[in-house]
Structure formats: structure tokens, C-alpha cells
Amino acid sequence: MKTNKPKIAIFGAGIAGLSCAYFLKKAGHDVTVYEKRPEVGGRFSVFETEGVYINKGALMYAPKLNPNFTALINELGIESEQLTLSRFALIIGNKITGLNNFAMFKSGLFSLFDYLKWLKLKRFIRRLDFRLESYDERLEELHQYSLQEFCEKQMGFNQKLIDYIVQPFSSFGYIDPPHIAADHGLFLFAYGDTELRVPVKGMSAVTDELYNRLRESVRLNTEIKEVKKNNKDGFSVVLTEKKKTSLTKKNFDYCIFATGQASLNKIVNGIDFSIPITKTRGLIFEAKCPQFNPYDVLLFSKFNNSHGIHGGEVKHLPDGRSICGIFLYHPKGDVEQVFGKVKILPKVGWSPAITLIPPKSSVRDVSTPIPNLYVIGDFYRLPCIESCVYTAKKVAKLMQTH
């Protein structure tokens, strides 16, 4: 029996693509998700060893800052646990300091005057509203500044305070040149000043559960080659499956991209939808580093950072070994300078879809110049998992009106 349901193709089975498919399927739409890799997840992938889960990309979420993502995983029944700031360590040179107010004050790293400025910044951030549904006009003003300019001109921070405190949270500013807008940096900084949670089995538990519910609608090992607008309102899509030399052509009424591509021009002629991205490398390794045993997350300052590490997760095994996920490093850096002898497990690509959205630039929306063709993912406004689910939900709602 034929139906009049429009056929929808989603390209990319990360959190954005899968959540969009989930929302559309709930509304009764005919959806197919295509993923070029043999597994789903994207930046939600997890490395598991001996019962230890290390996230390859997204580390955690804050319910206050990620309401759409939080609502989704609560609906999916994903078990999570709270991650307190006392489980974070700020590492400056050889000095390890717990990242909480008391430890920072007692560390001797900063003067009382610097410490009070840090508290002033935290109070300022608490007054901002980062919710994408009710965008705070003050963030539009902050977007005119780079993070560096805001800290220097608006907060009166010296470079030491910026490199010691602000940069460890704002990892994208770690990459030179740090063209990160002030509102982005403050959003990331706000993570350390609110409740944090992490799925018990890692972030992949979210995309795994979505995949379980969508399994019949997901096609793995299938890469999109070309999308052309056909004579009607729909699209002709050319696909190729792994280990097959022949191409497959399918027709769809709507196309949604959630691929993390820097530019879609090579796939869709005339789309003119480029996304500035940062591509960095990550490491997951095993080491004996008892000095990190009290901590779950390590943050490294930019100041005097000759080893080229930014920071990431730490999980401990009973025999004293630690599995560490370091998600930003310079290839010429020396990881063993910090951790001692290490055994490299996987090298991972990190943040292929994160947009920097430089200061004074316009914000991309989910719609494109081509009718019925949308882009979703981690580009909307703030670099976080929230924009993935928010844009996915936004497109799903737009479909309801068509």
C-alpha cells in the first residue's frame, strides 16, 4: 500500500543525525540515515577496555546548559552520574591543583586581586542565559569580541590569568590563532560552574540507544557522493556502499546533512554552506600515574605548555594503571614529559565538526539556499552537544509544517 509520506534522507549518524531521525520517526515520517563508517556515534564514540569507558570526543554535559540534550537522554533512559568539579585537576607545569575555589585560593598561583577577578567572571557568567530558545541579547554584544579581547578589555585579566584559567576550559582557544568569540569561551567556561553529568557507559550510550531504536532505518558503510535537485521538488542522491564498485541512485523529498563536512559544495552544487572547523588529534593511552588518582578530568594551562597537551579524561584500574584520554595535543609534543612512560592505545580524530564562528561573523541557520535541504549539527551558535540536538529538533519541527 502506497503512502503520501515524504521520503527523508539524513547523511551522518552522529548525535545530530540520529536524534533528528528519532524526532522525525516519532512524528511518523519515512526516514533513512546514511553513515559512511561501519558504526554510528561520530564524536560520541567510546573506547572501552577492562570495563573502563573513555570518550573519544564529547566528555560530559551540563543539564542547565544542555536542556535539549538532557531531555533527550532522559527520554531514552540513559543512566548517568554526576561529575563534580573537585574531580578536575588544573595542571600548570609540574604543579597539580584541584579546580575548586578553596584549592585555587590556597595554590599560591594567583594574587588575591587575580582571584577576585576570577570570581567576578564567574558571577558575570551566571547572569547570562545560554539557552538557544531564548537567546540572550548580551551574547550578541559579546560576540563582537574575541575571547582574548573580552578577558583583557572587559575583565582586566592579565595574560597569565587568561592562560592559566580561561584557556584550559576554552579548548578551541588553545589552537593558534585563537579566533574564538567571547560568548563561546564564556559558554565553555560556564561548564565548570554548574552541575556536570556523564553517562555511566560513556557518551556512546546515547547514540547506541538511538541506533537500537532506529536500526532498520540506518544504513552503515554507505557514503554520499552527490546530491542533485531533480525536476520536481525532490533530490536525486548518488550513494556508494563499501566493498561495492557500483553506485546507487535514490530519490528523496528532503535531504538533511549532519556530516561534519567543512564544506558541502563538493556534494551539493550551489549550496554555499561552509562551516569553519578545527581538526585536531587525540590520544588514548595507558600509564601508571598515581599523582592523578584523585582526579577524573585533567586541564592543562596554555602558559609554558611545552608538552603540547590540552587535557581530557582519566579512569583508574585497581592495579594502579590509568587509562587517559587526551583530546588535544600537538604531534611534536611530549606526552611522556607529563605522564611518564605511556602505552599509546588508539589515536583519534577530534572535533571534526566544531565551528569556531569567529567574532563579528553571522550565525548559520539550519536552512540553506536550496529548498527542502537542511544542515544540522554543532555549528548553530555555541560549540557544544546542545546545538546538535537543538538543530535536529528544529528541522524536525520544520518538517511538521510542510
Residue 248: other Cβ atoms inside 10 A = 12
Q: Are residues 226 and 252 in the same domain?
A: yes
- Between 49 and 242, where is the model more confident? 49
- Regarding whether 257 and 123 lie in a shared domain, the answer is no
* pLDDT tens-digit series, residues 26-70: 999 999 999 999 999 988 999 999 999 999 888 899 999 999 999
pLDDT of residue 94: 76
Strand order in the sheet with 95-98: 95-98, 88-92, 297-300, 311-316, 321-329, 280-288, 342-350
> Could you tell me the pTM of the whole model?
0.92
Element (H, E) at 204: helix 204-214
Q: Which domain holds residue 383?
A: 7-44+203-276+356-400
Q: Is the pLDDT of residue 289 over 90?
A: no
214 and 271 both lie in a single domain: yes
Residue 2 pLDDT > 50: no
pLDDT over 90 percentage in the chain: 47
| Domain shared by 248 and 145, yes or no | no
The three-class DSSP label of residue 302 is: coil
Query: CATH no. for residue 133?
Result: 3.90.660.50
How confident is the model over 268-297, as a mean pLDDT?
Answer: 82
Q: What is the mean pLDDT of residues 76-85?
A: 92
Q: Residue 269: pLDDT above 50?
A: yes
The pLDDT of residue 323 is above 80: yes
Q: Is 368 found in the same domain as 301?
A: no
* Structural domain ending residue among the three candidates 309, 329, 350: 350
**Higher pLDDT among residues 356 and 321, named by residue:** 321
* Residue that wins the pLDDT comparison between 352 and 150: 150
Do 264 and 360 lie in a common domain? yes
Regarding whether 248 and 111 lie in a shared domain, the answer is: no
Cβ atoms of 123 and 116 closer than 8 Å: no
Contact predicate 42/351, CB 8 Å: no
Cα separation, 344 vs 322, whole angstroms: 12
pLDDT at 267: 87
Lowest-confidence range among 117-121, 164-168, 336-340? 164-168
For residues 378 and 178, which has the higher predicted lDDT (pLDDT)?
A: 378
Nearest to 385 by CA among 127, 151, 203, 125: 203
Burial of 258 from C-beta contacts in 10 A (0-12 / 13-18 / 19+): buried
3-class DSSP state of 168: helix
Do 261 and 367 have their domain in common?
yes
Clarify whether residues 298 and 343 are in a common domain. Answer: yes
Residue 52 lies in a domain: no
Comparison of pLDDT for 94 and 213, the residue scoring more? 213
Provide the 10 A C-beta neighbour count for residue 49.
14
Per-residue pLDDT tens over the stretch 108-145: 878 889 888 988 999 999 999 999 888 789 998 999 98
Let me know if residue 60 belongs to a domain. no
Judged against a pLDDT cut of 80, whether residue 377 lies above it is answered with yes
Are 162 and 183 found together in one domain? yes
Task: Say how many domains are in the chain.
Answer: 2
Residue 155 included in any domain:
yes
| Residues 292 and 322 reside in one and the same domain | yes
Residue 56 lies in a domain: no
**Is the same domain home to 189 and 135?**
yes
- pLDDT, average across residues 15-31: 96
Average pLDDT of every residue of the chain: 87
CB 150 within 8 A of CB 187: no
Residue 299 lies inside a defined structural domain of this protein: yes
| Predicted pLDDT of residue 55 | 92
pLDDT of 3 reads 56
1 inside domain: no
Angle, CA 201 vertex, CA 198 and CA 207 arms, to 5°: 85
What's the CATH code of the domain at 231? Answer: 3.50.50.60
pLDDT, residue 1, reads 40
Give a yes or no: residue 51 inside a domain. no
For range 211-239, the mean pLDDT: 92
Bigger pLDDT: 172 vs 92: 92
Instruction: Answer with the residue of higher pLDDT: 96 or 173.
Output: 96
Is 95 among the domain residues? yes
